Structure 1
Amino acid sequence: MSTSPPTLGTLLRNLRTREGWTLKEMGERSGIPVSTLSKIEHDRLTLSYDKLQQLSQRLGMRMSELFAEEDESAVQPVMARRSLGDVAHSVRVETPNYDYYYLCTELRRKRMIPVLTKIRAKSAEEFGDLVHHTGEEFIYVLSGRVTVHTEFYDPVTLEPGQSLYIDSSMGHAYLAAEGCEEAEVLGVMSSPDEELMEKMLSLHHEKGGNLPSNDDSPAPRRTARR
């Protein structure tokens, strides 16, 4: 018996279910009104190619991922990977306003990138343009105070022990809060982009960073030669 291909509404609803988003959350991420999303999910409205491309960019994913169907029968292999990390064995990147310590860098094709960051920039002028990249990220303040600027929200100041989870495709910047000389945060970036770490290192380089070049870190070394 033949099965009809899923509609755009079904695919978007499945995507939202997989990500655990409400309609409101998906509307905030995509920039599409909730009423419009509801009509699409109920097959009362569709989107042009340009709008689909815009949607995928705002959600931080490739357009093909919008049309990916979840295969419940697929068995995920057990990778059994692990990595013990510490600052002494991290890949360190120094910039005028930040020090980044990338952890567990010997593992390639990671879905999560853990990084310890020391923040000294105190103003938007020092930081420069807001950063955009694919995926999502989580930060936890270890010491000091951090003011987070984002593209669609008012700045918020985090104290030690507080955390924040954001959509990384939304412009963002982390600054040392007023009265704080240096703050330290633990962050985790998650993305389907397997080259995210190299792209982040390239971004640091554009901001005047001193990139590493040790032989145990092939990916950063390739970025440093660009």
Structure 2
Amino acid sequence: MRDEGGPAADSVDARLAARLGLLRTEHGWSLDELSRRAGVSRSTLSRLERGELSPTTTVLGQLCTAYGRTMSRLLTEVEEAPPPLVTAATQPVWRDERSGFVRRSVSPPHPGLRAEIIEGTLDAGAGLSYENAPVPGVEQHVWVLDGTVEITVAGTPHTVRRGDCLRFRLTGPSHFHCPGPDPVRYALMSVLP
């Protein structure tokens, strides 16, 4: 949750809140309609759009599914257009403190390109669940850099260890879990269909 007063007007969180409100307006949906489509309560949506609440990874995933966007695309829409070279110091980082997930946009998506690369870190014992593919048929490659992650795609569990790479087309729910004892750090490449 946000401290009283909300995020600074120029922060990523403030731009994300504004973008979420604009997306709903562009689709012509009321808060009730978006709530029905995303499975997120009307009051939570209202607080998100006003910048009073920071979305969890799960809620952002539900909203991305409703809007037919990848999470990276949504987060990129609140960032400036990326230059061809994205230095480590300028790569956008988003944290979900509740789930223990940190997401770095290593190669942010760009309107003219179909692929993007993110670095994800999950704390030991942490898990992320996505109810649906944000864009059905998106191709994903998960390369584990450190640790171990258990990934369930299309009901099939996979244990992916350091150096291993799992590739799949995402059409439904998925789940990432770090069994520990250490955090897992992985690179995820997404390619739009």
Q: TM-score, normalised by structure 1?
A: 0.42
Q: Which protein has the larger Cα radius of gyration, Structure 1 or Structure 2?
A: 1
TM-score (norm 2): 0.49
